[in-house]
Structure 1
Amino acid sequence: MSINRQILAALVFASTILPAQAQPVMVKTFGHWGVYSYTDNGKTACYALTVPRTMHPADVNHGRNFLLVAPKGGDAYMPQAQLGYDLKTGSQVTATVGSEAFQMTPRGNVAWVSRENRDNAFVAAMKAGSTLTLEATSSRGTATHYAFSLNGVTAALQQAKACR
C-alpha cells in the first residue's frame, strides 16, 4: 500500500476520534507525514499524522496504527499514539528516537507521553531523528513493535502550526 493510501486510511480512522461534526481533510503530505485540518465549532485545527513503516510480530492483526501530533498553541505540541487494539491496562508504551526513550501511558487504544512536560522534548527528538520505534503490549498480552519514519515531520508540524 502506498504511503498516501496508508495515511488516507489512518485519516478515515482518525475521524472516529474527532468531534462528530469535524471531518478531516488532507492539506498536504511531507515525506511520510500528512497534515490534516478539520473545523470544530467554527475553528479550524490541524494535526500531523503518520503510519508505521513496519509492524511486528508479522502474524497478528495490528489494526490501524498511527502517530498524531497536534499543536497546542505557542510552541507546545500534543503527541499521541493511536493503535488498532486496546492496550494492556497498567502497561507502559515506550517510544524511542535514537538513544532517547519516552514512556507513554495508555488508555484504551491511545497512549500519551506519561509526563506532559516531556511532550516538547519528544517532538524535538522526532524532528532531530530519522526513525521512531514504538513498543506496546496489547490487552491480550501480545508484545508489539512498530517503526515510524520521521521523514517530513518537521515540515508537517510547521504546516500544522500555520493552519487556520
Structure 2
Amino acid sequence: MFGKSIVAASVIIVGVTGTALAQTPSQISQFNAWGAYSYQQGNGKVCYVLSVPVDKQPAKIDHGDNFFMVSQKPGQNVSFEPQFKAGYELQKDSKVTVTIDERSFSMFTNGSHGWMENAAEEPQLVAALRSGHKMTISAVSKRGTKTSYGYSLKGVSAALKAIATCK
C-alpha cells in the first residue's frame, strides 16, 4: 500500500535537500508504513526513514506529496533529525505541530518544510515515535488553509533501528 508513495517520496527528498545526485536512493527495507533508505552524499552516506500520511484533511483539496522523515547523516554529525515536507508552500512564519499520542512538538517552517523549533527536543520526538500509537501533523498553507495529516507509526521502530548504524 505504501510502497509506491514512499519510493516516489524518497526520490523527491533527494531533490528537496538541494543535493545533486546521479543516483536514486537505495531502499534498505520496508517496515509496514515506514521505509528505510540511504544514498551517498560526498564522502559519506545519508540514511533516513520516511512515511506518507494515511489521512489528509481537508479531504477535498490537492495536498501534493507530503511526508515525514527522520534522517541520519554521520559524516555531518546529524543523528535522527525529524523533518516534515508538505506538498505545497507553508504560510510564512507559521508553525507545524507534530502530535504523537498526547505529546506535541513545534516545528518552524521554511518554504514547504518544517524542522524542529528546539533541536534539543529531537531525541524526545524520536522516542515518542518509537513508543507512540498515532501521529498527527497540523500545518497552514501559504493561502491560509489549515491542513492535518494522520500517519501510521507501524514499523517506525524497526525502520529507525535499520538506520541506527548508518555509516
TM-score by length of 2: 0.92
SS where residue 162 of structure 1 aligns?
coil
Task: Tell me the equivalent position of 1:111.
Answer: 114
1:20 is the counterpart of 2:23: no
Task: Tell me the equivalent position of 1:125.
Answer: 128
| Deviation, structure 1 residue 72 | 5.0
Task: Tell me the equivalent position of 1:10.
Answer: 9
Tell me how far apart the structure 2 counterparts of residues 17 and 75 of structure 1 sit (CA, whole Å).
17
Q: 1:144 aligns with which of 131, 144, 147?
A: 147
Alignment length (residue pairs): 163
SS where residue 126 of structure 1 aligns?
helix
| Deviation, structure 1 residue 131 | 1.4
| Deviation, structure 1 residue 76 | 3.8
Tell me how far apart the structure 1 counterparts of residues 84 and 51 of structure 2 sit (CA, whole Å).
10
| Deviation, structure 1 residue 61 | 0.6
Alignment of 1:1-164 (within 5 A): 2-18=1-17, 19-21=19-21, 23-73=24-74, 76-164=79-167
| Deviation, structure 1 residue 8 | 1.2
Tell me how far apart the structure 1 counterparts of residues 88 and 40 of structure 2 sit (CA, whole Å).
27
Tell me how far apart the structure 2 counterparts of residues 72 and 12 of structure 1 sit (CA, whole Å).
17
Specify the code of the residue in structure 1 equivalent to 2:69: L
Unaligned ranges ≥5, structure 1: none
Specify the code of the residue in structure 1 equivalent to 2:12: F
Specify the code of the residue in structure 2 equivalent to 1:16: G
What is the RMSD of the two structures over their aligned residues, measured on CA atoms? 1.6
Specify the code of the residue in structure 1 equivalent to 2:164: K
| Deviation, structure 1 residue 15 | 2.1
Structure 1 stretch displaced more, 13-22 or 47-56: 13-22
| Deviation, structure 1 residue 75 | 9.5
SS where residue 16 of structure 2 aligns?
coil
Unaligned ranges ≥5, structure 2: none
**Residues 23 and 39 in structure 1, CA contact (< 8 A), matched pair in contact too:** no
TM-score by length of 1: 0.93
